[in-house]
Structure 1
Protein backbone atom coordinates (compact mmCIF):
# COMPACT_ATOMS: atom_id res chain seq x y z
CA UNK A 1 0.00 0.00 0.00
CA UNK A 2 1.01 3.59 -0.44
CA UNK A 3 0.69 6.82 1.47
CA UNK A 4 1.37 9.96 -0.56
CA UNK A 5 1.91 13.62 0.30
CA UNK A 6 2.46 16.56 -2.02
CA UNK A 7 3.06 19.87 -0.27
CA UNK A 8 4.32 23.31 -1.12
CA UNK A 9 6.62 24.38 1.70
CA UNK A 10 7.31 28.01 2.50
CA UNK A 11 11.10 27.77 2.34
CA UNK A 12 13.98 27.62 -0.10
CA UNK A 13 14.63 24.15 -1.61
CA UNK A 14 18.18 24.17 -0.21
CA UNK A 15 16.81 24.67 3.30
CA UNK A 16 14.24 21.91 2.78
CA UNK A 17 16.91 19.54 1.47
CA UNK A 18 19.05 20.11 4.55
CA UNK A 19 16.01 19.72 6.80
CA UNK A 20 14.96 16.30 5.52
CA UNK A 21 18.54 15.10 5.91
CA UNK A 22 18.59 16.24 9.56
CA UNK A 23 17.66 13.61 12.16
CA UNK A 24 16.42 16.34 14.51
CA UNK A 25 13.80 17.41 11.94
CA UNK A 26 12.80 13.74 11.52
CA UNK A 27 12.29 13.58 15.28
CA UNK A 28 10.50 16.95 15.42
CA UNK A 29 7.91 16.11 12.76
CA UNK A 30 7.17 12.77 14.49
CA UNK A 31 6.86 14.20 18.00
CA UNK A 32 4.99 13.46 20.25
CA UNK A 33 3.14 10.62 18.49
CA UNK A 34 6.30 8.67 17.80
CA UNK A 35 9.69 9.18 19.41
CA UNK A 36 12.98 7.83 18.13
CA UNK A 37 16.19 7.11 20.03
CA UNK A 38 19.37 6.36 18.12
CA UNK A 39 21.03 3.02 18.81
CA UNK A 40 24.25 4.13 17.08
CA UNK A 41 27.40 4.78 19.07
CA UNK A 42 27.43 8.53 19.57
CA UNK A 43 23.71 8.94 18.81
CA UNK A 44 22.17 10.50 15.74
CA UNK A 45 24.52 12.08 13.18
CA UNK A 46 24.15 15.79 12.44
CA UNK A 47 22.98 14.83 8.93
CA UNK A 48 21.80 11.45 7.69
CA UNK A 49 24.56 9.65 5.83
CA UNK A 50 24.05 6.81 3.34
CA UNK A 51 23.84 3.52 5.19
CA UNK A 52 22.05 1.87 8.08
CA UNK A 53 20.89 3.72 11.19
CA UNK A 54 19.24 1.61 13.93
CA UNK A 55 16.67 3.30 16.19
CA UNK A 56 14.40 2.44 19.10
CA UNK A 57 10.81 3.57 18.51
CA UNK A 58 8.20 4.42 21.13
CA UNK A 59 4.69 5.82 21.06
CA UNK A 60 4.36 9.04 23.04
CA UNK A 61 7.77 8.29 24.57
CA UNK A 62 6.17 5.74 26.92
CA UNK A 63 5.15 2.67 24.96
CA UNK A 64 7.92 0.71 23.20
CA UNK A 65 7.04 -0.21 19.62
CA UNK A 66 10.32 -1.91 18.72
CA UNK A 67 13.56 -1.37 16.89
CA UNK A 68 13.80 -0.19 13.31
CA UNK A 69 16.61 0.10 10.80
CA UNK A 70 16.60 3.32 8.79
CA UNK A 71 18.52 2.52 5.57
CA UNK A 72 19.32 5.84 3.89
CA UNK A 73 20.29 6.50 0.27
CA UNK A 74 20.25 9.63 -1.89
CA UNK A 75 19.49 10.29 -5.56
CA UNK A 76 19.73 13.33 -7.80
CA UNK A 77 17.60 13.53 -10.92
CA UNK A 78 17.57 15.92 -13.87
CA UNK A 79 15.88 19.24 -13.25
CA UNK A 80 17.09 19.66 -9.67
CA UNK A 81 15.01 16.88 -8.10
CA UNK A 82 16.72 15.41 -5.02
CA UNK A 83 15.46 12.29 -3.29
CA UNK A 84 16.20 10.76 0.09
CA UNK A 85 15.13 7.11 0.43
CA UNK A 86 14.75 4.82 3.39
CA UNK A 87 14.54 1.15 2.51
CA UNK A 88 14.90 0.00 6.08
CA UNK A 89 12.85 -2.47 8.05
CA UNK A 90 11.43 -3.19 11.45
CA UNK A 91 13.75 -5.31 13.57
CA UNK A 92 11.49 -6.12 16.51
CA UNK A 93 8.01 -5.64 17.94
CA UNK A 94 5.09 -4.63 15.73
CA UNK A 95 7.51 -2.89 13.35
CA UNK A 96 8.83 -6.31 12.30
CA UNK A 97 5.39 -7.14 10.85
CA UNK A 98 6.18 -4.89 7.88
CA UNK A 99 7.79 -7.09 5.22
CA UNK A 100 8.47 -4.30 2.67
CA UNK A 101 9.28 -0.64 3.42
CA UNK A 102 10.29 2.14 1.08
CA UNK A 103 9.95 5.76 2.10
CA UNK A 104 11.06 8.47 -0.33
CA UNK A 105 11.10 12.22 0.14
CA UNK A 106 11.65 14.39 -2.93
CA UNK A 107 12.62 18.06 -2.96
CA UNK A 108 12.42 20.41 -5.94
CA UNK A 109 11.92 24.12 -6.56
CA UNK A 110 8.44 25.64 -6.68
CA UNK A 111 7.54 29.14 -7.92
CA UNK A 112 8.27 32.07 -5.65
CA UNK A 113 11.33 30.54 -3.98
CA UNK A 114 9.27 27.85 -2.33
CA UNK A 115 9.73 24.08 -2.24
CA UNK A 116 7.71 21.27 -3.75
CA UNK A 117 7.90 18.38 -1.29
CA UNK A 118 6.70 14.94 -2.31
CA UNK A 119 6.63 12.11 0.17
CA UNK A 120 5.75 8.51 -0.61
CA UNK A 121 5.60 5.50 1.67
CA UNK A 122 5.17 2.08 0.12
CA UNK A 123 4.85 -0.85 2.50
CA UNK A 124 3.46 -4.35 2.93
CA UNK A 125 2.45 -6.05 6.17
CA UNK A 126 0.50 -9.11 5.03
CA UNK A 127 -3.09 -9.29 6.26
CA UNK A 128 -2.46 -6.29 8.53
CA UNK A 129 -1.61 -3.98 5.63
CA UNK A 130 -5.04 -2.21 5.51
CA UNK A 131 -5.04 -1.57 9.27
CA UNK A 132 -1.46 -0.34 9.21
CA UNK A 133 -2.22 1.83 6.17
CA UNK A 134 -4.82 3.69 8.25
CA UNK A 135 -2.30 4.29 11.04
CA UNK A 136 0.46 5.36 8.64
CA UNK A 137 -1.93 7.62 6.71
CA UNK A 138 -2.94 9.41 9.93
CA UNK A 139 0.70 9.70 11.00
CA UNK A 140 1.67 11.12 7.57
CA UNK A 141 -1.03 13.81 7.94
CA UNK A 142 0.51 14.73 11.31
CA UNK A 143 3.94 14.94 9.69
CA UNK A 144 2.57 17.09 6.86
CA UNK A 145 1.16 19.63 9.30
CA UNK A 146 4.47 19.74 11.19
CA UNK A 147 6.51 20.12 7.98
CA UNK A 148 4.35 23.03 6.81
CA UNK A 149 4.60 24.71 10.22
CA UNK A 150 8.37 24.26 10.56
CA UNK A 151 9.47 24.97 6.98
CA UNK A 152 9.54 28.80 7.34
CA UNK A 153 12.04 28.44 10.21
CA UNK A 154 14.56 26.30 8.31
CA UNK A 155 16.30 29.25 6.68
CA UNK A 156 17.51 30.42 10.07
CA UNK A 157 19.20 27.10 10.77
CA UNK A 158 18.00 23.90 12.30
CA UNK A 159 18.58 23.45 16.00
CA UNK A 160 16.94 21.48 18.79
CA UNK A 161 13.29 20.64 19.24
CA UNK A 162 10.90 23.41 18.39
CA UNK A 163 7.42 23.93 19.80
CA UNK A 164 5.26 21.53 17.83
CA UNK A 165 1.95 22.15 19.55
CA UNK A 166 -0.99 21.80 17.22
Structure 2
Protein backbone atom coordinates (compact mmCIF):
# COMPACT_ATOMS: atom_id res chain seq x y z
CA UNK A 1 0.00 0.00 0.00
CA UNK A 2 1.13 3.52 -0.73
CA UNK A 3 1.05 6.63 1.47
CA UNK A 4 1.89 10.12 0.20
CA UNK A 5 1.71 13.17 2.48
CA UNK A 6 3.02 16.69 1.92
CA UNK A 7 3.27 19.81 4.03
CA UNK A 8 4.87 23.23 3.79
CA UNK A 9 7.61 24.18 6.23
CA UNK A 10 8.34 27.67 7.56
CA UNK A 11 12.09 27.37 7.02
CA UNK A 12 14.40 27.47 4.03
CA UNK A 13 14.99 24.47 1.79
CA UNK A 14 18.63 24.51 2.94
CA UNK A 15 17.61 24.39 6.62
CA UNK A 16 15.23 21.49 5.98
CA UNK A 17 17.87 19.54 4.04
CA UNK A 18 20.48 20.09 6.76
CA UNK A 19 17.99 18.90 9.39
CA UNK A 20 16.86 15.77 7.54
CA UNK A 21 20.46 14.61 7.16
CA UNK A 22 20.94 14.46 10.95
CA UNK A 23 20.11 11.31 12.89
CA UNK A 24 18.83 13.41 15.83
CA UNK A 25 15.90 14.46 13.69
CA UNK A 26 14.46 10.92 13.65
CA UNK A 27 14.08 10.92 17.44
CA UNK A 28 12.53 14.39 17.42
CA UNK A 29 9.90 13.81 14.72
CA UNK A 30 8.95 10.34 16.02
CA UNK A 31 8.62 11.42 19.68
CA UNK A 32 6.60 10.26 21.61
CA UNK A 33 4.88 7.76 19.29
CA UNK A 34 7.93 5.68 18.38
CA UNK A 35 11.38 5.37 19.87
CA UNK A 36 14.24 4.03 17.79
CA UNK A 37 17.34 2.66 19.50
CA UNK A 38 20.51 1.90 17.54
CA UNK A 39 21.57 -1.76 17.53
CA UNK A 40 24.07 -2.00 14.66
CA UNK A 41 25.97 0.23 14.74
CA UNK A 42 25.56 0.59 18.51
CA UNK A 43 25.51 4.42 18.34
CA UNK A 44 23.97 6.87 15.90
CA UNK A 45 26.35 8.70 13.58
CA UNK A 46 25.86 12.48 13.58
CA UNK A 47 24.60 12.38 9.99
CA UNK A 48 22.96 9.73 7.87
CA UNK A 49 25.42 8.20 5.47
CA UNK A 50 24.42 5.64 2.88
CA UNK A 51 24.18 2.21 4.43
CA UNK A 52 22.11 -0.03 6.68
CA UNK A 53 21.28 0.72 10.32
CA UNK A 54 19.57 -1.90 12.47
CA UNK A 55 17.40 -0.32 15.17
CA UNK A 56 15.11 -1.44 17.96
CA UNK A 57 11.57 -0.08 17.74
CA UNK A 58 9.25 0.71 20.66
CA UNK A 59 5.77 2.16 20.41
CA UNK A 60 5.26 4.97 22.96
CA UNK A 61 8.73 4.10 24.21
CA UNK A 62 7.49 0.96 25.99
CA UNK A 63 5.86 -1.58 23.65
CA UNK A 64 8.67 -3.46 21.84
CA UNK A 65 8.11 -4.17 18.15
CA UNK A 66 11.44 -5.86 17.48
CA UNK A 67 14.01 -4.55 15.03
CA UNK A 68 13.90 -2.62 11.79
CA UNK A 69 16.53 -2.07 9.13
CA UNK A 70 16.88 1.56 8.05
CA UNK A 71 18.57 1.47 4.64
CA UNK A 72 19.67 4.99 3.69
CA UNK A 73 20.44 6.27 0.20
CA UNK A 74 20.35 9.66 -1.51
CA UNK A 75 18.78 9.22 -4.95
CA UNK A 76 19.12 12.06 -7.41
CA UNK A 77 16.04 14.18 -8.00
CA UNK A 78 15.50 16.77 -10.72
CA UNK A 79 13.15 18.74 -8.44
CA UNK A 80 15.12 18.98 -5.21
CA UNK A 81 16.50 16.79 -2.43
CA UNK A 82 15.64 13.13 -1.68
CA UNK A 83 16.53 10.80 1.15
CA UNK A 84 15.37 7.20 0.83
CA UNK A 85 15.00 4.63 3.59
CA UNK A 86 14.34 1.33 1.85
CA UNK A 87 13.73 -0.37 5.18
CA UNK A 88 12.31 -3.67 6.33
CA UNK A 89 11.82 -5.78 9.44
CA UNK A 90 10.68 -9.23 10.48
CA UNK A 91 7.06 -7.98 10.39
CA UNK A 92 7.24 -5.60 7.42
CA UNK A 93 8.89 -6.90 4.23
CA UNK A 94 8.95 -3.44 2.62
CA UNK A 95 8.95 -0.04 4.33
CA UNK A 96 10.21 2.06 1.46
CA UNK A 97 10.16 5.69 2.63
CA UNK A 98 11.30 8.60 0.50
CA UNK A 99 11.59 12.13 1.88
CA UNK A 100 11.49 14.88 -0.74
CA UNK A 101 12.30 18.51 0.00
CA UNK A 102 11.58 20.93 -2.83
CA UNK A 103 11.12 24.66 -3.33
CA UNK A 104 7.54 25.52 -4.31
CA UNK A 105 6.38 29.08 -4.96
CA UNK A 106 8.93 30.55 -2.55
CA UNK A 107 8.18 27.99 0.16
CA UNK A 108 9.66 24.67 1.30
CA UNK A 109 7.58 21.63 0.43
CA UNK A 110 8.24 18.45 2.44
CA UNK A 111 6.82 15.12 1.25
CA UNK A 112 6.81 11.65 2.79
CA UNK A 113 6.14 8.84 0.29
CA UNK A 114 5.95 5.36 1.78
CA UNK A 115 5.30 1.96 0.20
CA UNK A 116 4.40 -0.74 2.71
CA UNK A 117 4.21 -4.50 2.17
CA UNK A 118 3.53 -6.63 5.24
CA UNK A 119 1.45 -9.54 4.01
CA UNK A 120 -1.73 -10.06 6.02
CA UNK A 121 -0.95 -7.15 8.35
CA UNK A 122 -0.36 -4.61 5.56
CA UNK A 123 -3.61 -2.74 6.24
CA UNK A 124 -3.06 -2.30 10.01
CA UNK A 125 0.58 -1.30 9.42
CA UNK A 126 -0.54 1.20 6.74
CA UNK A 127 -3.17 2.64 9.12
CA UNK A 128 -0.48 3.07 11.78
CA UNK A 129 1.74 4.73 9.15
CA UNK A 130 -1.07 7.22 8.41
CA UNK A 131 -1.03 8.32 12.06
CA UNK A 132 2.76 8.18 12.36
CA UNK A 133 3.55 10.29 9.28
CA UNK A 134 0.91 12.89 10.07
CA UNK A 135 2.48 13.15 13.54
CA UNK A 136 5.95 13.41 12.00
CA UNK A 137 4.84 16.23 9.75
CA UNK A 138 3.34 18.13 12.73
CA UNK A 139 6.68 17.76 14.51
CA UNK A 140 8.49 18.89 11.34
CA UNK A 141 6.37 22.06 11.18
CA UNK A 142 7.20 22.81 14.82
CA UNK A 143 10.90 22.28 14.16
CA UNK A 144 10.82 24.37 10.97
CA UNK A 145 9.41 27.36 12.87
CA UNK A 146 12.24 27.00 15.38
CA UNK A 147 14.85 26.73 12.63
CA UNK A 148 13.47 29.84 10.91
CA UNK A 149 13.87 31.72 14.21
CA UNK A 150 17.51 30.69 14.41
CA UNK A 151 17.13 28.01 17.10
CA UNK A 152 19.15 24.81 17.25
CA UNK A 153 18.12 21.76 15.25
CA UNK A 154 16.84 19.69 18.16
CA UNK A 155 16.49 20.97 21.71
Q: TM-score, normalised by structure 1?
A: 0.85
More helix by share: 1
Can you list the C-alpha shifts for 1:19-76, whole angstroms capped at 9, x where unaligned?
Answer: 1111111111101110011123451111100001111111121121111110000023
Give the Å deviation of 1:158.
Answer: 4.2
Match of 1:52 in 2: 52
Distance in 1 of aligned mates of 2:25 and 2:46: 10
Distance in 2 of aligned mates of 1:47 and 1:158: 15
Alignment of 1:145 with 2:138, yes or no, is: yes
SS of match in other structure, 2:40: coil
**Retained in 2: the 8 A contact 1:19–1:154?**
no
Q: Which runs of 4+ in 1 moved over 6 A?
A: none
Inter-CA distance 158–121: structure 2 relative to 1 (3 Å threshold): farther
Please list every run of 5 or more consecutive structure 2 residues that lacks an aligned counterpart in the other structure: none
Give the Å deviation of 1:159.
Answer: 4.4
Match of 1:5 in 2: 5
Match of 2:109 in 1: 116
Q: Match for 2:118 among 106, 116, 125? A: 125
Please list every run of 5 or more consecutive structure 1 residues that lacks an aligned counterpart in the other structure: 91-95
Inter-CA distance 142–131: structure 2 relative to 1 (3 Å threshold): same
The RMSD of aligned alpha carbons is 1.6
Structure-to-structure mapping, 1:63-82, within 5 angstroms: 63-79=63-79, 81-82=80-81
Distance in 2 of aligned mates of 1:16 and 1:106: 10
Inter-CA distance 103–41: structure 2 relative to 1 (3 Å threshold): closer
Distance in 2 of aligned mates of 1:48 and 1:157: 21
Can you list the C-alpha shifts for 1:87-111, whole angstroms capped at 9, x where unaligned?
Answer: 1211xxxxx2212221000011123
Q: TM-score, normalised by structure 2?
A: 0.91
